[in-house]
Amino acid sequence: MLVNEILINYLHFCFIENISFMRKKIIAGNWKMNMLKDSSIALFDKISSTEIPSNTSVIIIPPAVYIDPLNLANNSKIELGAQNCHSELFGAFTGEISASMLKDLGVNYCLVGHSERRMYFHESDEFLKDKINTLLNENITPIFCCGETLTQREKGEDKITVEKQIKNALFHLDGNVLKQVIIAYEPVWAIGTGKTATPTQAQEMHSFIRELINTKYGREVSSSISILYGGSVKGDNAKELFAQQDIDGGLIGGASLKAEEFITIIHS
């Protein structure tokens, strides 16, 4: 190999390593269908009182009706996200909320494909793909959730399940657009069960996801994409999970409803 080629490869390697190093940590708290207005504001105030580490983004994802009151009370660096939206911007979809409405409230993030929406509301990959497109058009960052059930893991179908979910909802995007998406790997068997994936199990799936993206889009895209882990993350297991090379933070459910615990996670 010519010296030039070696040098170019080396510089490319340094560049990619740097991107991975620079990926911001993201801690997102998904409050699901919990809290009332006053308790939401009180919890938000407590969380806002902590110093946010400079390499970390904190996103609170409250029930949609509390986005505006929290936004008004927000005088910190915490960002707000939504738990869901429809794929259409306006129209006869009683009970639904659109990406344009979220944008109007200053929301910058929206969950897509959370397993509870897939399970209880039968959201299809096709619908999720449409939501992703709409959110990106509105400049809202989708936090795309994927993950296998316990049965799928026990049958050895965990990776193929996650691969299908990702390919169906995201792989129509251009690489530069995909970079704007956050992926959250949430094994369904770990959500709200107190059974966290071990750091090794989680890292294995995160690195599988990054490799999938690398195969289609190349290292520059795969290294810059943030992949969060979700599923029973707590104050006492966050540090070890977040220390894994391909885990860029967490999507936190239950523990995001307890200020002290969530603050511990932020500082992990």
Which residues of the chain form contacts with ligand PGA (CB under 6 A)? 30, 186, 191-192, 230-233, 251-255
Instruction: Identify which of residues 102 and 251 has a Cβ nearer to ligand PGA in the complex.
Output: 251
* Rounded Cα gap, residues 83 and 31, in angstroms: 9
Min CB(116)–ligand PGA separation in Å: 7
Instruction: Identify which of residues 223 and 232 has a Cβ nearer to ligand PGA in the complex.
Output: 232
Catalytic residue among 138, 186, 206, 261: 186
User: Would you call 45 exposed, middle or buried from its count of C-beta atoms within 10 A (0-12, 13-18, 19+)?
Assistant: middle
Nearest to 166 by CA among 139, 189, 147: 147
Distances (CA, A) of 208 to 80, 137, 245: 29, 28, 12
* Rounded Cα gap, residues 218 and 40, in angstroms: 42
**Does the annotation count 114 as an active-site position?**
yes
Residue 112: which H helix or E strand, with range?
strand 109-112
Instruction: Identify which of residues 222 and 230 has a Cβ nearer to ligand PGA in the complex.
Output: 230
**Does the annotation count 211 as an active-site position?**
no
Assigned token pair, 11: 């510089």
Min CB(15)–ligand PGA separation in Å: 33
The DSSP symbol for 258 reads S
Catalytic residue among 86, 114, 116, 148: 114
Min CB(223)–ligand PGA separation in Å: 25
Assigned token pair, 195: 């059974």
The DSSP symbol for 51 reads P
Nearest to 84 by CA among 131, 129, 122: 131
Instruction: Identify which of residues 247 and 252 has a Cβ nearer to ligand PGA in the complex.
Output: 252
Min CB(72)–ligand PGA separation in Å: 25
Active site residues: 114, 186
